[in-house]
Chains A and B, each alone.
Chain A
Amino acid sequence: MSVFINKDTTLVVQGITGRDGSFHTKQMIEYGTRVVAGVTPGKGGQKFEGTVPVYNTVADAVQATGANTSVIYVPPMFAADAIIEAADAGVQLIVAITEGVPVLDMTRVYPYVKEKGARLLGPNCPGLISPGESKVGIIPGRICAPGPVGVVSRSGTLTYEIVYQLTRAGIGQTTCVGIGGDPINGTNFIDALAAFEKDPATKVICMMGEIGGTDEQEAAEFVKQHMTKPVVGFIAGQTAPPGRRMGHAGAIISGSAGTAAEKLQAFRDAGMGVAKRPIDFVDLVKARLH
């Protein structure tokens, strides 16, 4: 079992012929993801790698293939349009990998997607992977293994680091979800936690947050009120200075709000396990699996 994507996920790739889009489409196909269509305006009628049909619009792709999920690799200035196009075409899950999307664009995109009843993951996220079933995005497949742990994170490489350490310790994952590092994103920690709570195969959840905003504090409150499964948390940016954007657009301490200390305290108050170092996840998860 898994959350958000599984072996029945049928994927359309927006920006399939671009540099990043083509590279990662090959990786997804290799992993076993059912890539049923690609979209690049003006290249409709072509076949990607001789197998995946390319369409001019997402509407055409969905009509022809019934794709239920989309992944977006278009440049930042076109990402808002691409997300709305996917939602408009009736795609249920839209995964926006693109980094650098203007935040004001997201203020229009978010309510549109919500009103359409679709789920958006990202932007500026690595996507998600349900090991052994499907991968949508850029998370390296070989560092994951099937198992009982749900992973949700605002980061990319930090997630790989922790997932890799879990896998090496013999702990596999149901689904690893990267919600992305932007201040306005489609799916937050609570959405992912709620999905893991409902997924019978997920036994323990690992949550990797970072400085900035209050998403982690709200997630901790959700854990306290609604979760029966154990959650282990980590916050990156304990040494980050206030007022500086630490790479991710959302990773910024404003005044005295959004610090690591405040978030870690919220985790402790919610009875969550707290990993001080990435490697600590291994023992904390092991203790909660048995």
Chain B
Amino acid sequence: MNIHEYQAKDILRAIGAPIPPGEIATTPDEAEAIASRIGKMVVVKAQVHAGGRGKAGGVKLAKTPAEAREKAQAILGMQIKGLTVEKVLVTEAADIASEAYVGIILDRASKKPVFMVSPAGGIDIEEVAATTPEKILKLPIDTRYGLMPFQAMRLGFFLYDDLAKARAAAKIMGQLYTAFMQSGCSLAEINPLVVTPTGDVIAVDAKMVIDDNELDRRPAIAALRDESAEAPSEVQARNANLTFIKLDGNVGCVVNGAGLAMATMDLVKYYGGEPANFLDIGGSSNPEKVVNALRIITADPRVKAILFNIFGGITRTDDVANGIVTATKENPLKVPIVIRLTGTNEEIAMKILTENGFSASSDMDEAVKKAVALATGGQAA
């Protein structure tokens, strides 16, 4: 789960990290009022789950409260990478002497959180890693011991030769690590970490990504989810316990299991079609899930054919068949449906489907080919 910059900053601020004051605004009036309270030059920053906000025009300086109002007016409601800006952060503008990058990622290879720091901050760290890897220090942390003081100092000295600044940075490293662990992050970044002309070290931007598996045990973090920043169909799917990702094609896919769901999408493409979505109904075969899945998929007008691909292991195919029958009785389909199912209780499932006017096959390739033909031919059922 992504959280907004202002939410990540709130978490870090609560731990004591030095972050310039700022507040969230949803209207130009509020932005003006916040800028007045701050009483200095401010930055108005779009709060959306997308990188490259600056390049898209979503980050603007404002010298006066009136100007903050103007900038907020322009940014609120703008689209950045398909997402509408609903909120802006109005925050004190920092004077910048130098910028550094500080990040922690959960690294698969070392199976540890890894600190990545670079004195080349403020820009894309992937680019730095690709072009000048010597400018990055990577330091894996054993979570059983946590970030040791010597490690924090090593990271600090990699950024700054000056002892006072290295110490200040080391303290921020500790705060970022604490935030990372306490919030259940898979990524936490301060970019840039800024040294001001007076020598203070401060965090000017922050980003955190939370491991979805952490949310059950961290209700305060789960409550930070901003559903207005996500596609409505994905919110609806999550609330129905389905894993759904919207794509651009016209073959709607309903599959059990993530690997098979991906392989099904790939096979749609292989036979010349384009998948409309990734959808995993999961291992348990509650008919209600099938009903919800069909509701979400058919809400997309671009979907021209629906493909079910079910391999019944734990999933009982008769449950899926019942789900299809129930869902289509409630909401008759306007597009053709192709059903492939095999495995547990296959005979019962086939019987249920046939009795209700559906046909089904047990061959994956045949079913995918048929769904692609129906979607591209645009034939009605």
Which residues of A does B touch, CB under 8 Å? Answer: 76-77, 100-104, 106-108, 110-112, 126, 138-140, 143, 153-161, 164, 181, 183-184, 208, 210-211, 213-215, 234, 236-241, 244-251, 255, 260, 276-279
Report whether B245 and A241 are in contact in the complex, using a CB–CB cutoff of 8 Å.
yes
Q: Is B365 an interface residue (CB 8 A)?
A: yes
Report whether B256 and A157 are in contact in the complex, using a CB–CB cutoff of 8 Å.
yes
Contacts of A260 in B (CB 8 A): 266
* Given the contacts A246-B245, A279-B364, A159 and B213 also touching, CB distance less than 8 Å: no
Which residues of B does A touch, CB under 8 Å? Answer: 106, 108-109, 111-113, 126, 142-144, 181, 184, 186, 211-214, 216-217, 243, 245, 247, 255-263, 265-270, 275, 278, 280, 283, 311, 313-315, 342-344, 364-365
The CA of A104 and the CA of B275, in the complex, are separated in Å by 33
Report whether A238 and B217 are in contact in the complex, using a CB–CB cutoff of 8 Å.
no
The CA of A214 and the CA of B258, in the complex, are separated in Å by 19
* The residue from A112, A139, A213, A240 contacting B262, defined by CB atoms under 8 A apart: A240
Report whether B256 and A183 are in contact in the complex, using a CB–CB cutoff of 8 Å.
no
Contacts of A214 in B (CB 8 A): 108-109
* Given the contacts A139-B313, A154-B259, A157-B313, A246 and B278 also touching, CB distance less than 8 Å: yes
* Given the contacts A103-B186, A240-B278, A248-B258, A76 and B213 also touching, CB distance less than 8 Å: yes
* The residue from B144, B278, B311, B315 contacting A247, defined by CB atoms under 8 A apart: B278
Distance from B256 Cβ to chain A, minimum over Cβ atoms (Å): 6
Contacts of A101 in B (CB 8 A): 213
The CA of A244 and the CA of B278, in the complex, are separated in Å by 10
Contacts of A183 in B (CB 8 A): 106, 108
The CA of A255 and the CA of B149, in the complex, are separated in Å by 32
Report whether B266 and A238 are in contact in the complex, using a CB–CB cutoff of 8 Å.
yes
Contacts of B111 in A (CB 8 A): 106-107, 110-111, 184
Report whether B216 and A246 are in contact in the complex, using a CB–CB cutoff of 8 Å.
no
* Given the contacts A76-B216, A241-B247, A255-B126, A108 and B259 also touching, CB distance less than 8 Å: no
Report whether A140 and B143 are in contact in the complex, using a CB–CB cutoff of 8 Å.
no
A211: nearest residue on chain B (CB-CB)?
Answer: B262
18 cross-chain CB contacts under 8 A: A76-B213, A77-B216, A107-B143, A138-B313, A153-B259, A158-B257, A161-B260, A184-B108, A236-B259, A236-B263, A238-B269, A239-B266, A246-B245, A260-B266, A276-B270, A278-B364, A279-B364, A279-B365
Distance from B264 Cβ to chain A, minimum over Cβ atoms (Å): 9
* Given the contacts A140-B343, A239-B247, A157 and B275 also touching, CB distance less than 8 Å: no
User: Of residues B261, B262, B314, B364, which shows the largest number of chain A Cβ atoms within 10 Å of its Cβ?
Assistant: B262
Contacts of A161 in B (CB 8 A): 260, 263, 311, 364
The CA of A164 and the CA of B364, in the complex, are separated in Å by 12
Which 9 A-B residue pairings sit nearest by Cβ, starting from the closest? A155-B259, A247-B258, A157-B257, A158-B259, A236-B262, A157-B260, A237-B262, A107-B143, A158-B260
Report whether A107 and B364 are in contact in the complex, using a CB–CB cutoff of 8 Å.
no
Report whether A155 and B270 are in contact in the complex, using a CB–CB cutoff of 8 Å.
no
Pair count A-B, CB < 8 A: 157
Contacts of A208 in B (CB 8 A): 259
Report whether A237 and B313 are in contact in the complex, using a CB–CB cutoff of 8 Å.
no
The CA of A276 and the CA of B260, in the complex, are separated in Å by 14
Report whether B311 and A157 are in contact in the complex, using a CB–CB cutoff of 8 Å.
yes
Report whether B266 and A104 are in contact in the complex, using a CB–CB cutoff of 8 Å.
no
* The residue from A102, A155, A236 contacting B266, defined by CB atoms under 8 A apart: A236
* The residue from B211, B243, B364 contacting A104, defined by CB atoms under 8 A apart: B211
The CA of A138 and the CA of B275, in the complex, are separated in Å by 29
Distance from A119 Cβ to chain B, minimum over Cβ atoms (Å): 15
**Given contact pairs A158-B259, A160-B311, a sample of 9 additional A-B residue pairs in the complex whose CB atoms are under 8 Å apart:** A107-B113, A155-B258, A160-B343, A210-B259, A239-B269, A241-B247, A246-B245, A249-B213, A276-B270
Contacts of B280 in A (CB 8 A): 247
Contacts of B214 in A (CB 8 A): 102, 104
* Given the contacts A244-B245, A250-B108, A159 and B259 also touching, CB distance less than 8 Å: yes
Distance from B53 Cβ to chain A, minimum over Cβ atoms (Å): 15
* The residue from B113, B143, B217, B275 contacting A239, defined by CB atoms under 8 A apart: B275
The CA of A159 and the CA of B263, in the complex, are separated in Å by 11
Contacts of A184 in B (CB 8 A): 106, 108, 111
Report whether A103 and B213 are in contact in the complex, using a CB–CB cutoff of 8 Å.
yes
Distance from A36 Cβ to chain B, minimum over Cβ atoms (Å): 24
* Given the contacts A76-B213, A277-B365, A279-B365, A164 and B311 also touching, CB distance less than 8 Å: yes
Report whether B343 and A107 are in contact in the complex, using a CB–CB cutoff of 8 Å.
no
Report whether A246 and B260 are in contact in the complex, using a CB–CB cutoff of 8 Å.
no
B344: nearest residue on chain A (CB-CB)?
Answer: A140
* The residue from A106, A156, A277 contacting B267, defined by CB atoms under 8 A apart: A277
Contacts of A110 in B (CB 8 A): 111
Distance from B234 Cβ to chain A, minimum over Cβ atoms (Å): 10
Report whether B217 and A102 are in contact in the complex, using a CB–CB cutoff of 8 Å.
yes
Distance from B41 Cβ to chain A, minimum over Cβ atoms (Å): 34
Contacts of B265 in A (CB 8 A): 237, 239-240
